[in-house]
Amino acid sequence: MAATERGGDAGPEGAARGWAPDLKRWGKPHYRAIAEALADDIRTGRLTPGTRLPTQRALAEALGLNFTTVSRGYVEAHQRGLIEGRVGQGTFVVDPGRAPRSDTTPPRVGPADFTMNLPPEPDAPALRARMQAAFAELSGDLTNLLRYQGFGGTDADKEAALRWLRGRGIEAARERLLICPGAHSALSGVLAQVARPGEAICAECITYPGIRALAAHLGLRLVGLPMDRHGVDPDAFAAACTRVAPKAIYLNPLLQNPTTATLPRARREAIVAVARRYAVSIIEDDAYAHLCPMPPPSFSELAPEITYYVAGLAKCLGAGLRLAFLIAPNARAALPLAGSLRTATVMASPIATALATRWIMDGTADAIVQFVREESAARQRIAAALLPRETYTADPHGFHVWITLPEGWTRAAFASQGRSAGLGVVGSDPFCVSGTPPEAVRLCLGGPSTRPQITHGLEVLAHALEGSPALASTYI
143: exposed, middle or buried (Cβ count in 10 Å: 0-12, 13-18, 19+): exposed
**How many angstroms separate the CA atoms of 427 and 430, rounded?**
7
**Cβ contact 42:100 at 8 Å:** yes
pLDDT of residue 48: 87
Instruction: Give the pLDDT confidence of 72-103 residue by residue, as tens digits.
Output: 788 778 778 888 877 667 788 886 554 444 44
Name residues whose C-beta falls within 8 Å of residue 240's C-beta, 6 or more positions apart in sequence.
Answer: 200, 202, 223, 225, 246
Q: What pTM did the predictor assign?
A: 0.81
* pLDDT, mean of residues 189-212: 97
Given a cut of 80, whether residue 12 has pLDDT beyond it is: no
Residue 211's nearest CA partner among 226, 199, 201 is: 201
More confident residue, 55 or 96: 55
Mean pLDDT of the chain: 88
Give the C-alpha distances (Å, rounded to integers) separating 113 from 5, 160, 458. Answer: 34, 33, 11
pLDDT of residue 106: 38
Residue 254's nearest CA partner among 282, 296, 293, 306 is: 296
pLDDT of residue 471: 60
Instruction: Give the pLDDT confidence of 438-475 residue by residue, as tens digits.
Output: 999 999 999 988 898 899 899 889 988 987 776 655 44
More confident residue, 174 or 42: 174
Given a cut of 70, whether residue 267 has pLDDT beyond it is: yes
Label residue 7 by pLDDT band (50, 70, 90).
Answer: very low
Which of 103-107, 351-355, 439-443 is most confident?
A: 439-443
**Cβ contact 124:371 at 8 Å:** yes
Instruction: Give the pLDDT confidence of 159-169 residue by residue, as tens digits.
Output: 999 999 999 99
**How many angstroms separate the CA atoms of 237 and 253, rounded?**
14
Instruction: Give the pLDDT confidence of 272-318 residue by residue, as tens digits.
Output: 999 999 999 999 999 999 999 999 999 999 999 999 999 999 999 99
Give the C-alpha distances (Å, rounded to integers) separating 410 from 67, 440, 463. Answer: 19, 8, 16
Given a cut of 90, whether residue 369 has pLDDT beyond it is: yes
DSSP, res 15 = B
Instruction: Give the pLDDT confidence of 379-432 residue by residue, as tens digits.
Output: 999 999 999 999 999 999 999 999 999 999 999 999 988 888 888 999 999 999
Number of helices (H) and strands (E) in the chain: give both, helices first: 16, 15
